[in-house]
Amino acid sequence: MCRFLAFIGEPILLDDVMTDQSHSLVSQSMAAREAKTDVNADGCGLGWYGERPRPGIYRSILPAWSDPNLLGLLGQIRSRLFMAHVRSATSGGVSYTNCHPFTHDNMLFMHNGMISNYRKLRARVEALIDEVLYENIHGTTDSEAMFHIALSRGLPADPHAAIIRSLSEVVAITSAYDRPERVRFAAALSDGEALWGFRWASDEHPPTLYYRAVDRGTVLASEPFDEDANAWSAVAPNTAVRIAKDGRVDHLPIDLSAHAAA
């Protein structure tokens, strides 16, 4: 599975939390410690907020460790809120359009996880996307589909409710088989004002997700980027976190049964 990192706080140079640590995200692209696959070499990407509401985006099919353009940007861009992703493909081939983060208007989204047997389920899953949004899909991943399902369910207005509704409707599809398909979901998203993280799974194995305070802000990451284990808090399974600019972290349950009952 993939690895990602996001930051919110006062403006910093991106490489302050991207390359200057013993187990940085760039290092994780070569040797992740808590992922299903050690190497995440199927592309990389970066999204950041600057002077305008819509974020800047850089995506590449090169591994993060060997992309000179990415490494150059990390030492030049200063941002108060940004996301970065290194990809290990579970659905969709290695292509620019399948690299994260994904964006729509002022929203940024990146994902680590899977819908098992997505090729079999893809048509039914993508049918959940509003027609007006479907034309914005350019890749073939379950990640991009989940983002657009959530956009179709009111993501900009209420990220927590939109993700719960999206997961519920996808699980209704994946569970309609004698042997239900698995859904594992860790994601980060932002509207440029707050940073959200989500950790959920239909089985007992949700993807890892952590957060910690750093100088001038807060980091959300798939795995710690240093050896200071006591500084990191694991996001509990089936939980969302909302991280504010001032570092406040709110925890909200991801309870699909509540949506089903509604």
- How far from each other are the two terminal CA atoms of the chain, in whole angstroms? 33
Rounded (to 5) percent helix, strand, coil in the chain: 30, 30, 40
3-state secondary structure of 75: coil
Residue 242: CB atoms within 10 A of its CB come to 15
Helix 142-152 vs helix 118-126: angle between axes, to the nearest 10 degrees?
20
The secondary structure of 207-239, three-state, reads CCCEEEEECCEEEEECCCCCCCHHHCEECCCCE
C-alpha distances (whole Å) from 203 to each of 20, 147, 171, 181, 210 are 35, 21, 11, 10, 19
C-alpha span between 114 and 229 (Å, rounded): 27
Known catalytic membership, residue 2 = yes
The DSSP H or E segment spanning 73 is: helix 68-74
Find, among 254, 212, 202, 203, the residue nearest to 234 by Cα: 212
C-alpha span between 82 and 120 (Å, rounded): 34
C-alpha span between 229 and 233 (Å, rounded): 8
**One of 1, 2, 86, 129 is an active-site residue; which one?**
2
Q: Which residues are catalytic?
A: 2
